[in-house]
Amino acid sequence: MGGPPLTSRRKFISLEAAMSAMCAVLYAMGSYFTAYISSPWGFGQFRPAVVIPAVFSTLFGPLVGGLGAAVGTLIVDSVKHGHIYIRSLVAAVPGNFLGFYLFGVIMKRKFSWENFIKASQITLLVANAIVAFLYVYFRAFVEVSYPVAFREAWIYVSLGLVAWWYVTMLPFVLLLGPPLIRAVASAFPGFVSEDIRSSTMRSEIPRRSFAMAMTLPGSLMLLVGIGITVSDPSFIMALKLAPSPLILAGMQAMFLGSGVILFILGVLVLATGRLSGRAK
């Protein structure tokens, strides 16, 4: 008594299953296009396709986004390597599921563009930290083939991967997420909640908040890059912050480059008002 009819629950479960499958397929396809672009450490994919589970988590809830992201990342990793990829099962699957489930929980409480910014930042930090630390720890202490230099610096390599994924994913989620959410809500209003449908049509996207969400981490990355540049390389390597001179150079380029790009994107969003228009 008091619950929704059985038929309605079945329809809802069927919709969740279908949307989870669609999210997984789209995420896998999008991720495969950049699957061979890696971080300065030689592993850790460049993955702008994370905007896909972010959109699905927002529109269809935490379980859809979490399952879609977990299955999608396992598919693309396994296709890339030609077999069920154990490292993905150990690290990427739980990290993606928990991260985008959290994204959906934040957005389900109350839809707003401010919450979307918050969910993007929290999710990218939490999910990437889970993936990075599980992945590097597994390779460093379970797989015997992992280089000793990486094993000794596994914590710093993990933190570096978190930074790499965060700064390379954030602009895609913030810049592509809102227009995709609005497009889906407008094209398929019957598939999304009334709260999302009405909010996306009425509310103006706060360009200042989106700009600050990129300029602040961009400034931080830039400062870290400058710090690496002016520091003695032998001192940094002695602290095990970088396992080799080549990786140190890659870290320098990553922090400087990502810092400049994020800062410029934030300034451009603020200056041009790219995200500010109301939906027609």
Helix residue ranges, H only, 142-244: 148-152, 154-187, 194-202, 207-230, 233-238
Residue 230 gets the label, from left (phi > 0), alpha (psi -120 to 50) or beta, of alpha
**Angle in degrees, CA 214, 216, 221, rounded to 5:** 95
What pLDDT does 7 receive?
Answer: 63
pTM given for the model: 0.88
Query: Domain limits of the chain?
Result: 6-203
pLDDT at 193: 79
Is residue 78 pLDDT above 80, yes or no?
Answer: yes
- At position 221, the amino acid (one-letter code) is M
Quote the CA–CA distance of 203 and 112 in Å, as a whole number: 8
DSSP-derived letter for residue 274 is T
Residue 137 CB contacts under 8 Å (≥ 6 apart), including other chains: 154, 158
Give the mean pLDDT of 163-176: 94
DSSP string, 30-99: HHHTTTT-B-TTS-SB--GGGHHHHHHHHHH-HHHHHHHHHHHHHHHHHHHHTS--HHIIIIIHHHHHHH
Interval 33-74: pLDDT, tens: 999 999 888 888 999 999 999 999 999 999 999 999 999 999
Percent of the chain with pLDDT over 90: 58
CATH number belonging to the domain at 6-203, selected among 1.10.1760.20, 3.40.50.1820, 3.30.1330.60, 3.40.50.150: 1.10.1760.20
Torsion of CA 83, 31, 91, 114, to 10 degrees: -160
Amino acid letter, residue 240: K
Q: List, for residues 121-158, the tens digit of each pLDDT value.
A: 999 999 999 999 999 999 888 887 777 777 888 898 89
